[in-house]
Structure 1
Amino acid sequence: MWYAVTRTTLRCMTSFPSPAEELRVLDAELRHLDARRAFLLSRRAWLVSALYAAAPGPTPAAPPVRRPEATAPRVQNVLLILGGVLLTVAAIAFTLVSWGHMGIAGRALVLGAVTVAALGAPVLLLRRGLRSTAEAVAGLGLALTVLDAYALHEVAFTGADGTGYAAAAAAVLATVWAAYGLGLGALPTGAAESGSTVPRTALGLPLPLALGAAQLPLLLWSFAVNASVETVTAVLLVTAAADTAIALRVSLVPVRIVAVVGAAGWGALGVSAAGWLSWAATGPSAAARAAALLALAAVIALTTAWLAPKPALALGTALTGGLLVVTGLGGIARAVLPEMWTVPAHLLCGLALLTAVRVQAPEPVRRGLVHASAVVQGLALATTVPVVTIALLGPVSLLERIWSGPPADARAAVTLDAPWPPNTATVPLVLAAVAGVLALTGRTAPWRTPALVGASVLTWATVLVLPAVLELPYAAGLMAQGLLLVVTLALAGLARSAAPERPQPSTAADRLRSPLPLTGTLLALVTSVSLVLHSLATEPATLIALATSTVLFAAAAWRTDLGVLAAPASLVHATALTCAIGASAGWEPQHTALLVLTVPAIAALVATRLDDSPMTIPVEATGAAAGLLAIALSSVHPPLLALTLALCGVIVTGRAVRPDRRHLGHLAAALFVTASWVRLAVWEVGSPEAYTLPVTLPALLVGRLRRRRDVTVSSWTAYGPGLAVTLVPSLFAAWGDTHWLRPLLLGVAALTVTLLGARHRLQAPLLLGGATLALVALHELAPYIAQVVDALPRWVPPALAGLALLAAGATYEQRLRDARRMRNLLGKLS
């Protein structure tokens, strides 16, 4: 076909056919192409259908291939290590057991030859590229050198001291191993079997083992010469210093690991021993020697920090170095100065570390020394916690001895029968020193606000503990706390935000959320509580302290932006003052309750003037708490309890006049009702109507007024509660009453309510009154019904019940229609 097409095309190209002939040729070619395409499509369709018809199952998975559980290099290393260990064990057994069967020449020849062979074989193995094998053989050779040293001691130096010989042998072995390792690294590089070259550090064992052996000579020598504890400690620190230098200068990883482990281990032991020597020092000379050792450790740590490549390591070692310096100098001061100056001496040394910020040193080193100073200051403050705690919480014991008489001094006021901690004369000095440091260093620091807050708290604690520490007179201690309260409140009122870049708070609540005013206010509150507790020893002091605290907090709430906390605090102190006045006058609790009610009244008046101030809710809550206290105090005397409840209702009613406090009207009504019930109980009134009618009448009046203002209010909401309060208790009383007067009056009242509900089409009066009227009638007719039932035969009631059921079933449809009509009629009622 393609031949014919090609021939035709060539003929057309050479003979220039006419358009008709050319058109005929093109049509023929297109028909051939269509035929070929149809053939290929049909063949494709047949193949697809054949594949789907076969529907072959899933291709079977390839059989699992067993993988080797260990790689070839790992197997090689295990074999080499096992071989080296076995050869080493054999050499040890030969040296210890079979040594005596040979002469001196034979022993030296065998052991020397084996050692030389074991140490020389790695040279050839490295030239052939067998590094792992060379490593194993070299390990065997190094172990043999230890056996050589042991054999040499047993043969030639039998009279030498074992510890001294071990020190010398360790030094020699360390030197030999180091030279061996460096010598192998200096060999000319030869091509390995794989085409690689021998590295500069050909073997990994000799140099780390040499460094490990180098740890022992000085320590063993100190043991051999029976050196003192100070000398042994110095040896430990010198060894740690050498390891530190190697770790900082050597780049070989195995050697650096050994050096780091040695520096950390020996350094920790040396520092621990030096610290123990400093703590146990009994004189200046011993303390000076311990300080020298600690200074050596500090130099090592600071040098490491200076040269450390990583900031975290530099920070940690600088911190450690600073603490070591403080420990050494503090130990000297402890040995020279009295015991009470131990903490100030350490604190002074710690504060001296702050000068590091001006030293030309790396930044991590300076930060580490500053952190060390912070740690020392924190530990110094920790020693003051017992004294501050006793000064703050000690007066709580006076609650059991109110007005028992003035203590001997300010210390006796806080300790009473408890012991006072020893060596506390310098506690105020420590607190003041740290407070001054925070105030000075925090002026330009990013953490200015926390620093100022901490300084204010520590200054407050200094003044708090000062009277007890100095054993001032009791009155002087009270005056000091009073002045502290005044100053704290004044500073809290004048405080501003410690961050100048932030805008000043715009409202009183926002200002109080600032750290400094909030801290000052809280400290003032704590001071006032401490002052009141201290004043409980005598009656005049208690009254003066409570009155002073009340006035001060009221002034702070009025003249500053601290009212959210100051106003409630003033009311709380005023409440305590009224209780104290009542107790001072010898009043009974129920009479004191009437005096306490002046606080809720004042709180209500103040809240009226505050409008929408943030102080409104705290003031109202404090007044409510004082009202509850008054009710609790008067609960032992029912007549005065009724009066107290009524007065509380009057106060709450005054607050309920405001549109935003209308919900308090329910509380006022409840207080009035409760007061009336208590009064009725006092009068021994047992009729429930006397308790319910005072509630029903106002409730119905309020419901009527509400329905007049809002026509959508249902009768159940307006009149239901008021009617139920009287009808339900009276109904229960009528069912248990044998007289005719109460059922008659209740029936008349229920009939009246029912008629009024029907007249005005109100569901609640109609249903409640009708149900009550029906139950009252049933109660009155019950005896007659019982007589009739007793007179009838026993089969009459079942027969009547059956007839009733038949009648109900016969007129079921009519009853349903009547029920629907009644429901619609009730639905039309409001």
Structure 2
Amino acid sequence: MPRVEAARLAYQDLSGRLVTARQRRAALAARIRQEIPAPRAAGPAPLPAPMPARPVPAPPTPAVRPGGAEASTRAVQGLLFVLGGLLLGTAAVVFTAVAWATFGVAGRALILLAVTALALVAPLVARARGLRGTAETLASVALLLVVLDGYAAWSVDLAGVTGLPGSRYAALVTAIGAAVAAGYGLVSRLTAPWFAAWLLAQPVLPLAAAAFRPTAAGWALVLTAVALGDLAVVVALRRRASGTPAALVAGQVLGWTGHGVALVLAAGCALVPLALGRAAGTPLLAGGPLLVVALTLVAGALAAGGRLWRATTAGLLVPVLAVALVRPVGELRPGLLLLAAGLVVAALAGAVRALPASIRTGPLVGALAVAAALGQVAVVLTGLVGAVTASAGFPAWQGGRDVPVPSWGWQLPAALLLTAGAVALLTPRAVRPLAGVAAAGLVALAAPAVTATPWPLVLVVDLATAAALLLAAVARPRGGGSSCRSPRRPGRCCSGTRCWSAAPPRSVPSPCSPSPRCSARRSPRWAGVDRARSRSSGAWRSRWRCSPYRRAWRSRCSASARRPGGSCAARPPPSWCRSSSSSPSVACGPS
């Protein structure tokens, strides 16, 4: 009886659970039927009633079915291909490293050749059947087997390859692998072989050069060559019209990345010979590697095609060139360093000024930076000389002493003048007087450093320079006087103006009667401007008639004429607009 009772209770419990599960299933089925629309019955749909035109709403977003796919079929296939390729590559490595020792040399060679040949043929078959993902995976594994063949040949000393240096043999294997990958990419028209070729080509030159134990300058040149190779890849991909856009973009990204990394490493290596002052056994080439790196950077900017990038790299090239030219002088003739720097700055300023305006912006900024650096050094040295000169006059009751002369003192005025000339060449015309004044004052302060100078003579030179600068500032023309003779500014001078006679009012029809054009009393060098102006005199007259300045001028002249004895031409003309003594005095007014 107890067993029967226990069985009955268990049966009732299971029956209750079954009823609960059925109810939950019915509730879930009802919810699913509510979310999924019912299919429409087949047959011609009735014509809808004409509705007034109104904007069509956006189609509603379809509801996501419960239990839908979380990833696309292509993503799953790609993931499986990658995992399969990794497994095959791992198996190939394990076979080469472990199971390789159980076979003889002939058997090993035959096995590797057979497996590599099958791996190279399989992607072609897969691609012919439309399985491109499988073909890409198998092609990657096949190219890995090519590199493993080289390792296997080294491990068994096939054909005496162990007699070569290890780095040189590695360079040979990677070069062969890159060539095979490039050729295989041309034949199979797959994408993965091209990436494999680029990856295998990167260490070829460094491995080949490592056997010769190059210096830092040599490594800079090797890495620059690698950067140029990556740049050639980028240019080739940009000019290529066929191929997958995503693959072309990925190739360009890899090419620019390799180019940038190689240039950074090359620049780091190029700084070593520049600091040591010697490259290839001679100080003359100390800045050569860094200059080559800078030129490669400019070539990359030209390939990139951005105006800002081109201007930036061109601006960086100027300081690098200046350092490359000055560094040998500092190593061979340190006593002439200041003068050599001034000559280099002046030469670079002249070269930049001779460039076309379209490409002058970047080099102009670089040349100004070089001139500013030398100017700062020269100003600091001039300040030291001035301080020493001033201290020589103290204490005042003992009289001035002779100023000591440094060994480099004779170069300081020349460096200041060369720097000022470079700044005058690189800056606008309005800045040149300021540069000249600053240079004159600094040269006067630096003059005692040229030779032993008595204190009274130093004082006289400084006072004379200050007086000359003061007189130049006072006598400098201001306002329209300095620019009135320019034919490019009509309204300020006789160019584009009319001359008003200072004769009595009876000699002219009206108080504001214009006299002949100013071209009658100007020098022959304005003849071309006058001829061009005469050809467009009608346009100038029509413009002047409609100008508000003419109305203001006539109103002012009329008000002056209404006053007793008044005339708009009664005031004396300015000195810059007077004619010679043989002609009557005239004054210019606006036209």
* TM bin (shorter chain): 0.5 to 0.7
In structure 1, the residue matched to 2:122 is: 121
Post-superposition CA distance 1:80-119 (Å, at most 9, x none): 3333233323322222223212333443344333333333
1:181 aligns with 2:185: yes
In structure 2, the residue matched to 1:160 is: 164
CA-CA distance at 1:151 after TM superposition = 0.9
- Taking the TM superposition and a 5 Å limit, the aligned residue runs for 1:363-512 are 363-364=358-359, 366-391=360-385, 403=396, 405-410=398-403, 423-442=408-427, 447-468=428-449, 470-493=451-474, 494=476, 496=478
Relative distance call for 1:125 and 1:460 in structure 2 (3 A) is: farther
Relative distance call for 1:454 and 1:362 in structure 2 (3 A) is: closer
In structure 2, the residue matched to 1:216 is: 203
| Identity in percent | 28
Instruction: State whether residues 283 and 336 of structure 1, in contact with CA within 8 Å, keep that contact through their aligned partners in structure 2.
Output: no
CA-CA distance at 1:495 after TM superposition = 6.0
Post-superposition CA distance 1:342-361 (Å, at most 9, x none): 24324433433345457687
Structure 2: how far apart are the matches of 1:407 and 1:142? 86
Structure 2: how far apart are the matches of 1:139 and 1:253? 20
Relative distance call for 1:220 and 1:346 in structure 2 (3 A) is: farther
Instruction: State whether residues 278 and 285 of structure 2, in contact with CA within 8 Å, keep that contact through their aligned partners in structure 1.
Output: no
Classify the secondary structure of the residue corresponding to 2:457.
helix
Post-superposition CA distance 1:339-382 (Å, at most 9, x none): 3x224324433433345457687933x43333332232222223
In structure 2, the residue matched to 1:344 is: 339
CA-CA distance at 1:184 after TM superposition = 2.1
CA RMSD of aligned residues (A): 4.0
Q: TM-score, normalised by structure 1?
A: 0.44
CA-CA distance at 1:301 after TM superposition = 4.7
Relative distance call for 1:326 and 1:65 in structure 2 (3 A) is: farther
CA-CA distance at 1:68 after TM superposition = 6.7
CA-CA distance at 1:468 after TM superposition = 4.6
Instruction: State whether residues 330 and 345 of structure 1, in contact with CA within 8 Å, keep that contact through their aligned partners in structure 2.
Output: yes
- Amino acid paired to 2:175: A
- Amino acid paired to 1:221: A
Classify the secondary structure of the residue corresponding to 1:158.
helix
Structure 1: how far apart are the matches of 2:177 and 2:253? 20
CA-CA distance at 1:433 after TM superposition = 0.9
Structure 1: how far apart are the matches of 2:139 and 2:444? 73
Post-superposition CA distance 1:241-299 (Å, at most 9, x none): 33333333432434433433333333343344344324423699612344554554455
- Amino acid paired to 1:484: T
Classify the secondary structure of the residue corresponding to 1:250.
helix
Post-superposition CA distance 1:733-772 (Å, at most 9, x none): xxxxxxxxxxxxxxxxxxxxxxxxxxxxxxxxxxxxxxxx
CA-CA distance at 1:150 after TM superposition = 0.8
Relative distance call for 1:357 and 1:160 in structure 2 (3 A) is: closer
Instruction: State whether residues 389 and 448 of structure 2, in contact with CA within 8 Å, keep that contact through their aligned partners in structure 1.
Output: no
1:170 aligns with 2:199: no
Structure 2: how far apart are the matches of 1:107 and 1:256? 39
In structure 1, the residue matched to 2:193 is: 206
In structure 2, the residue matched to 1:353 is: 348
CA-CA distance at 1:320 after TM superposition = 3.7
Instruction: State whether residues 235 and 303 of structure 2, in contact with CA within 8 Å, keep that contact through their aligned partners in structure 1.
Output: yes
CA-CA distance at 1:307 after TM superposition = 5.5
The structure number with the bigger radius of gyration is 1
In structure 2, the residue matched to 1:317 is: 313
**5+ long unaligned stretches in structure 1:** 1-61, 186-201, 413-419, 506-830
Structure 2: how far apart are the matches of 1:284 and 1:83? 51
Structure 2: how far apart are the matches of 1:448 and 1:332? 34
Structure 2: how far apart are the matches of 1:362 and 1:307? 21
Q: Which of 232, 238, 241 lines up with 2:225 in the alignment?
A: 238
Aligned residues: 412
In structure 2, the residue matched to 1:646 is: none
In structure 1, the residue matched to 2:323 is: 327
Instruction: State whether residues 240 and 266 of structure 1, in contact with CA within 8 Å, keep that contact through their aligned partners in structure 2.
Output: yes
Relative distance call for 1:329 and 1:63 in structure 2 (3 A) is: closer
- Taking the TM superposition and a 5 Å limit, the aligned residue runs for 1:491-640 are 491-493=472-474, 494=476, 496=478
- The farther-off stretch of 493-502 and 342-351 is 493-502
CA-CA distance at 1:221 after TM superposition = 2.0
Instruction: State whether residues 416 and 442 of structure 2, in contact with CA within 8 Å, keep that contact through their aligned partners in structure 1.
Output: yes
Instruction: State whether residues 221 and 289 of structure 2, in contact with CA within 8 Å, keep that contact through their aligned partners in structure 1.
Output: yes
- Amino acid paired to 1:408: R
In structure 2, the residue matched to 1:147 is: 148
Classify the secondary structure of the residue corresponding to 1:226.
coil
Q: Which has the higher contact order (CA 8 A, sep 6+)?
A: 2
Greater percentage in helix: 1
Q: TM-score, normalised by structure 2?
A: 0.59
Instruction: State whether residues 284 and 332 of structure 1, in contact with CA within 8 Å, keep that contact through their aligned partners in structure 2.
Output: no
